[in-house]
Amino acid sequence: MQQSASRSKHFFYFILINTFIFVRLRVQLHLNKEFNHKYQTMYAKTLGQFIIEKQNDFPFAKGELSRLLRDIAIAAKIVNREVTKAGLVEILGETGDTNVQGERVKKLDVFANDQFIAALKAGGECCAIASEENEDIIPIDSEISKNARYVVAMDPLDGSSNIDVNVSIGTIFSIYRRVSLNGPGTHEDFMQRGTEQVAAGYIIYGSSAMLVYTTGKGVNGFTLDPSIGEFCLSHPNMQMPKDGKTYSINEGNYLHFPEGVKKYIKYCQEEDKATNRPYSSRYIGSGVADIHRNLITGGIYIYPKTTKSPNGKLRLLYECNPLAFIIEQAGGVATNGYKRIMDLDISELHQRTPLFLGSTEMMKKSMEFMEKYKEAAV
């Protein structure tokens, strides 16, 4: 009896000690996780640090391209600050003007355009700017820009029709090396194929602000940390999935689409277990937001020509070329329905084109439909 009581007592102490050890280990594990998280956050690599590390990829640039990307990031922070205050300050609504595209101008369109132009002028690494909001190029003739080697094309605020309803919007930019020899940049500096881009990117203003860019050495994403006011590396070496389950297109224009696009949409909507169809239709109306989602999760984005816009609606220079550069560097494909976007010749500043871009397998199938029904195209 006494021996049995002794065994029970020892067993009780055994359970008690092991429980104490288990609890202590769990607490230590939790503390380690918290420390690692804080350590990683504290020492997150900033955009500036990342650019400096990658400068050796461009021995001919001598730091100019790095400083140019820094200038764009500064303007993006200022625009993001105003976007997050929209509704509290007089930044919503229209100005009453119409831009060169024939579109109603929003107040935030003007603000974003002004901020990026100001940042690029002040930085001294850019000799000319082309913007969606300006009919002609903006040459920069200043002492600090006299030896600038680059020109920048941009859509300062993509998806501006969504500003007033608190939906994600963005900025798209493209950087080219100038072809003129000196002085302010010229129109010819912008008349280059997309294959000549030295860098391109976009900034998305949503639940967080994120800058995604490429210099032809892969795609990297940086999220703005408001606590330190810096873009920090959050999505290194971004890769687009080879396939997806999402198609993004404004189906309200279905009747005006080319026959190949109509057939592809029907293909996406059909049931087929082998190919995981039907696919989901997701269309935000902000190109940057739709393409950013598809870049991360896989999918296809289509903005085709229509009977109303036979040349397409998106601009080749500062929308399609930079987005195509990013998508290709992430492993995707970008075409106008038949031909690679970045191989298209450009002859006008605001030249338009259809745009198809996305995951390789989805793009391959959509191009099959476009080629098959080419004769019936509008």
pLDDT of residue 104: 57
Q: Are residues 66 and 151 in the same domain?
A: yes
pTM reported for the whole predicted model: 0.85
Backbone angles phi, psi at 155, to 5 degrees: -110, 100
Helix (H, G, I), strand (E, B) or coil at 229: coil
Residue 159 belongs to domain with CATH number: 3.30.540.10
Q: Are residues 149 and 280 in the same domain?
A: no
Domain-terminating residue out of 235, 259, 279? 235
Q: Are residues 160 and 266 in the same domain?
A: no
Tell the residue number behind the tokens 């396939």, with chain if given: 243
Burial (CB count within 10 angstroms: exposed 0-12, middle 13-18, buried 19+), residue 375: exposed
Q: Are residues 210 and 262 in the same domain?
A: no
**How far lies 124's CA from each of 64, 66, 68, in Å?**
9, 12, 8
pLDDT above 90: percentage of residues in the chain = 68
For all residues of the chain together, what is the average pLDDT? 87
pLDDT (tens digit per residue) in 83-106: 887 665 555 555 555 655 555 566
Residue 41 lies in a domain: no
pLDDT (tens digit per residue) in 295-353: 999 999 999 999 999 999 999 999 999 999 999 999 999 999 999 999 999 999 999 99
Q: Are residues 199 and 292 in the same domain?
A: no
Count the domains in the chain. Answer: 2
- Name the pLDDT band for 260 (thresholds 50, 70, 90): very high
Residue 11 lies in a domain: no
Q: Are residues 198 and 259 in the same domain?
A: no
The two structure tokens encoding residue 257:
């689409």
- Name the pLDDT band for 38 (thresholds 50, 70, 90): very low
Q: Are residues 210 and 256 in the same domain?
A: no
Residue 139 lies in a domain: yes
Q: Are 334 and 194 in contact, with CB atoms under 8 Å apart?
A: no
pLDDT (tens digit per residue) in 147-168: 899 999 999 999 877 877 888 9
Domain-terminating residue out of 209, 235, 261? 235
Pairing state between β 300-303 and 333-335:
unpaired
Residue 23 clears pLDDT 70, i.e. is over it: no
Q: Are residues 230 and 262 in the same domain?
A: no
- Name the pLDDT band for 182 (thresholds 50, 70, 90): confident
Residue 38 lies in a domain: no
Residue 40 lies in a domain: no
Q: Are 356 and 261 in contact, with CB atoms under 8 Å apart?
A: no
Domain-terminating residue out of 172, 203, 235? 235
Alpha carbon of residue 119 to chain centroid: 20
Residue 8 lies in a domain: no
Residue 293 lies in a domain: yes
Q: Are residues 204 and 319 in the same domain?
A: no
Residue 266 belongs to domain with CATH number: 3.40.190.80
Structural domain that includes position 298: 246-376
Residues 6 or more apart in contact with residue 373 via CB below 8 angstroms: 258, 259, 260, 263
Residues 6 or more apart in contact with residue 350 via CB below 8 angstroms: 100, 101, 132, 315, 317
Q: Are residues 202 and 283 in the same domain?
A: no
Q: How many residues does the chain have?
A: 378
Q: Are residues 218 and 276 in the same domain?
A: no
Per-residue pLDDT, averaged over 26-41, amounts to 52
Q: Are residues 202 and 294 in the same domain?
A: no
Per-residue pLDDT, averaged over 212-231, amounts to 95
Residue 175 lies in a domain: yes
Q: DSSP string covering 129-195, please? A: EEETT-SS-EE---GGGTT--EEEEEEEEETGGGGGGT--EEEEEEEEE--S-SSS--GGGG---GG
